């Protein structure tokens, strides 16, 4: 079975500082996509960032960037200059396509940004 | 606004009852996905439809069923409800390499 592990159930960071959320996954697939989704207290699921596994370059979206290590099956999310609005649950989610054509979510990391 | 519409937003019902959750995907998306999120848990994949056909099935209980209609909206039917079925049910759509757009969810409370 495809598994996703987010080893940090909860984290906190001071406003304006940097925090890294970890994610590892297990797959024998070679081509796939990786996503980080954010779920604030409103419960809305919001796409944060996307990475194609065939790309060596790490994806970046403003203050959000990833460290993708394909061989290690690791996909961490770095949030720079943390803001109070970043307080949320963060979910790592691989997508393998084909018969596994759905996002597989980790259990999430609860991030609190403190003023 | 993701473009995915779910109704109802909140639903309270009793054990043994049946409910129907409705989802309209983003304009142009052919795929609809249903996920269940129990309290403080991650999202569990239930089922996917693509252009009216079932494409993939996850851990969906036999008491649950879904369908996608010709106009591409989808319904998730939950029957013989149990207390443990209380959860947030998300619908999502998206046809581009796993990038899904989620509705706001339907919060089901079974008393």
pLDDT-derived band at B21, boundaries 50, 70, 90? very high
Number of Cβ pairs < 8 A linking chain A and chain B: 56
pLDDT-derived band at B97, boundaries 50, 70, 90? confident
Rounded average pLDDT over B47-52? 94
Partners of residue A100 in chain B, C-beta under 8 Å: 56
pLDDT-derived band at B1, boundaries 50, 70, 90? confident
The three-class DSSP label of residue B84 is helix
Q: Do B41 and A44 touch (CB under 8 A)?
A: no
- Among A102, A105, A109, A110, the strongest candidate for a mutation testing the B interface, having the largest count of B CBs within 10 A, is A102
The DSSP symbol for B26 reads P
Give B 35-74 residues with CB within 8 A of chain A.
35, 41-45, 48, 55-56, 58
pLDDT along chain A (115 residues), means of 10: 89 98 92 94 94 92 96 96 97 81 88 97
pLDDT-derived band at B42, boundaries 50, 70, 90? confident
Q: Do B45 and A104 touch (CB under 8 A)?
A: yes
The shortest C-alpha distance from A17 to chain B (Å) reads 26
């Amino acid at each position: 079975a495809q598994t996703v592990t987010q080893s940090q159930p909860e984290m906190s960071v001071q406003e304006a500082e940097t925090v890294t959320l970890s994610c590892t996954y297990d797959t024998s697939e070679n081509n796939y996509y990786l996503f980080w989704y954010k779920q604030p207290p409103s419960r809305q699921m919001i796409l944060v960032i996307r990475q194609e596994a065939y790309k060596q370059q790490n994806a970046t979206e403003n203050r959000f960037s990833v460290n993708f290590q394909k061989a290690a099956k690791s996909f961490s999310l770095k949030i720079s200059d943390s803001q109070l609005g970043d307080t949320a649950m963060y979910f790592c989610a691989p997508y393998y396509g084909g018969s596994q054509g759905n996002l597989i979510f980790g259990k999430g990391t609860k991030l609190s940004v403190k003023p | 606004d993701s473009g995915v519409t779910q109704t109802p937003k909140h639903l309270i019902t009793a054990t043994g009852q049946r409910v129907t959750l409705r989802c309209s995907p983003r304009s142009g998306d052919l795929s609809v996905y249903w996920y269940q999120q129990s309290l403080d848990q991650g999202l569990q994949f239930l089922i996917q439809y693509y252009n009216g056909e079932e494409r993939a099935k996850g851990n969906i209980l036999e008491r649950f069923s879904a369908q996608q209609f010709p106009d591409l909206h989808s319904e998730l039917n939950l029957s013989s409800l149990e207390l443990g079925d209380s959860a947030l049910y998300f619908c999502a759509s998206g046809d581009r390499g796993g990038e899904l757009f989620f509705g706001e969810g339907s919060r089901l409370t079974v008393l």
